[in-house]
């Protein structure tokens, strides 16, 4: 069974993602802020992380940085789901190691689920862009 960590502070979206993933047979861990996300990662290594950027306590950029610098977590695919849709934020997240980026208002949850399924099936290689020089 595939384990997914959903890091999202909006209750409705967190629950919707959890429900969709569980209906697809995934085991889902949830976190509502960055500190909780890191606690969950220490407890259990997921196969995929869905990560919001704007959260209380520690934001998603901080969490992404921690994931990528930890050798035990660095290979876990991270799909960013954020309300931040500016080129600067998208570029920053991708350069920090996000594998994909979805702007919440522009992508229905079904599209996010399809992308997650690609990772589960092993059909999705990283789309990480090289860091700017």
Summarize pLDDT for 61-93 with one digit per residue, the tens: 999 999 999 999 999 999 999 998 889 999 999
The total number of structural domains in the chain stands at 1
* Distance of alpha carbon 102 from alpha carbon 74, whole angstroms: 20
Residue 132 lies in a domain: no
- Domain range spanning residue 39? 12-43+60-120
- In the prediction, which pLDDT does 85 show? 87
* CATH code at position 77: 3.40.50.2300
Residue 128 lies in a domain: no
Residue 76 lies in a domain: yes
| CB of 82 closer than 8 Å to CB of 89 | yes
- In the prediction, which pLDDT does 39 show? 97
* CB neighbourhood size of 115 (10 A): 18
* Distance of alpha carbon 117 from alpha carbon 11, whole angstroms: 23
Residue 51 lies in a domain: no
**pTM above the 0.85 mark?**
yes
């Amino acid at each position: 069974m595939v384990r997914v960590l959903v890091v999202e502070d909006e209750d409705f979206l967190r629950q919707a993602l959890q429900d969709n993933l569980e209906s697809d047979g995934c085991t889902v861990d949830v976190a509502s802020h960055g500190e909780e996300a890191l606690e969950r990662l220490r407890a259990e290594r997921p196969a995929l992380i869905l990560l919001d950027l704007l959260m209380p306590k520690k934001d998603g950029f901080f969490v992404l940085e921690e994931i990528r610098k930890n050798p035990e977590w660095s290979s876990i695919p991270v799909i960013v789901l954020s309300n931040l849709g500016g080129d600067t934020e998208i570029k920053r997240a991708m350069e920090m190691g996000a594998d994909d980026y979805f702007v919440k208002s522009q992508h229905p949850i079904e599209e996010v689920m399809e992308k997650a399924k690609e990772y589960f099936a092993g059909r999705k290689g990283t789309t990480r862009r090289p860091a700017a020089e």
